[in-house]
Amino acid sequence: MSGELVLVTGGSGFLGAHCIAELLNAGYRVRTTVRSAKREADVLAMLKAGGTEPGDRLSFAIADLMSDAGWPQAVAGCDYVLHVASPFPPGVPKHEDELIIPAREGALRVLRAARDAHVKRVVLTSSFAAIGYGKMPPGGQPFTEESWTDPTAKVSAYVKSKTLAERAAWDFVATEGGKLELAVVNPVGIFGPVLGADHSTSTEFVQRMMNGAMPGLPRLSFGVVDARDVAELHVRAMTNPAAKGERFLAIAGDFMTVREIAQTLKTRLGDAAARISTRQLPDWLVRIVGLFNGEAAQLAPELGKVKNATNAKAVRMLGWSPRSREDALAATGESLIRLGLLKTSQ
């Protein structure tokens, strides 16, 4: 481990920064890609907010998922790659290819460069989106790593992009990968400590709730996991021989309804969560709003669906032990308060 060099793609992102911190704290040297040199200061600020001082063990490379330029230099001399970078816009893209092409082509670009540089293993950040939007498991069983989303079904552009990108990655390694090894991590909704103003769609969801921007809650449920635990799972999947050729669901416990998430935040954060509503919206109202709002329209097919997933494989094979769902959610809210990212009282 000591002195081994790991490339983390997308280091200025929420999960990317947590992966860098996890690696630095474990003694690795890290190189991370950013699309512009202007983002280097942002990465350093995020690490500082998380209590990590990289010293001389962090370097930067300029590379973009949509261009070949810079990737050979980014992977040169690296032992491992964590491919975390992927588009995830807060809104609905005008066309699904705005997400699908960068996700799929970016993954292939990184894998090709890693193979050519004789990298040992790539850990790809996929998503529960590539698992849980196909055929429901029989008898109310939870989704597992054996499950795959059906990209031909009526799914969102994001869900489709993650599924097609992961499929393309496995196909590439099987047919053109040579000695390159691949492991995949499939997180559910990623929460935990926000490190800067640029954070994830999941943490923005908590921010909106705490700002009172959600006067009613749709009848939805999803999984919760802490970004620190997702980062740790990436490192375990990077080094454990048993992880070669495997995918791992990253989830802290059973799915939670949006209402349960709201109630957890109110219980854990007290007065700071005073603006959070626990009022349930009727499904028909969400569907009507969906006629005029693309984001609401994407939610409508999931209303009232009871899904679940299990982390048993990651626990059994890699010894992974994540924080509780409640701790992950509380850490999100506490960090938003600490960084001044919530509306102040009028």
Closest to 63 (Cα-Cα) out of 25, 114, 110, 119: 110
Residue 90's pLDDT is what?
Answer: 59
CATH number of the domain residue 108 falls in: 3.40.50.720
Q: Which residue has the higher pLDDT, 222 or 134?
A: 222
Does a structural domain hold residue 176? Answer: yes
Does a structural domain hold residue 119? Answer: yes
Q: pLDDT-derived band of residue 346, with 50, 70 and 90 as boundaries?
A: very low
Does a structural domain hold residue 206? Answer: no
Does a structural domain hold residue 334? Answer: no
Does a structural domain hold residue 132? Answer: yes
Does a structural domain hold residue 235? Answer: yes
Beta-ladder partners of 247: 184
φ, ψ of residue 263 to 5 degrees: the values are: -65, -35
Q: What is the pLDDT of residues 70-85, one digit of tens each?
A: 999 999 999 999 999 9
Task: Establish whether 266 is a catalytic residue.
Answer: no
SS3 string, 289-324, reads HHCCCHHHHHHHHHCCCCCCECCHHHHHHHCCCCCC
Q: CA 131 from chain center: how many Å?
A: 14
Closest to 161 (Cα-Cα) out of 194, 196, 192, 126: 126
Q: What is the mean pLDDT of residues 167-185?
A: 98
Does a structural domain hold residue 82? Answer: yes
How far apart, in whole angstroms, are the C-alpha atoms of residue 176 and residue 179? 9
Q: pLDDT-derived band of residue 345, with 50, 70 and 90 as boundaries?
A: low
Q: What is the pLDDT of residues 25-60, one digit of tens each?
A: 999 999 999 999 999 999 999 999 999 999 999 999
Does a structural domain hold residue 200? Answer: no
Q: pLDDT-derived band of residue 234, with 50, 70 and 90 as boundaries?
A: very high
Question: Could you say which of 38, 154, 160, 162 is catalytic?
Answer: 162
How far apart, in whole angstroms, are the C-alpha atoms of residue 2 and residue 23? 11
pLDDT for residue 114 is more than 50: yes
The answer to whether the predicted template modeling score (pTM) of the entire model surpasses 0.85 is: yes
Q: What is the pLDDT of residues 302-319, one digit of tens each?
A: 999 889 999 999 999 999
Number of domains the chain is built from = 1
What secondary structure letter does DSSP report for 66? T
What whole-number percentage of the chain has pLDDT above 90? 85
Q: pLDDT-derived band of residue 136, with 50, 70 and 90 as boundaries?
A: confident
For residues 49 and 196, the answer to whether their CB atoms sit within 8 Å is: yes
The answer to which of 8-17, 132-141, 200-209 has the lowest mean pLDDT is: 132-141
Domain that holds residue 236: 5-194+221-254+308-322
CA dihedral 41, 83, 69, 44 (to 10 degrees): 10
Residue 68's pLDDT is what?
Answer: 96
Residue 244's pLDDT is what?
Answer: 98
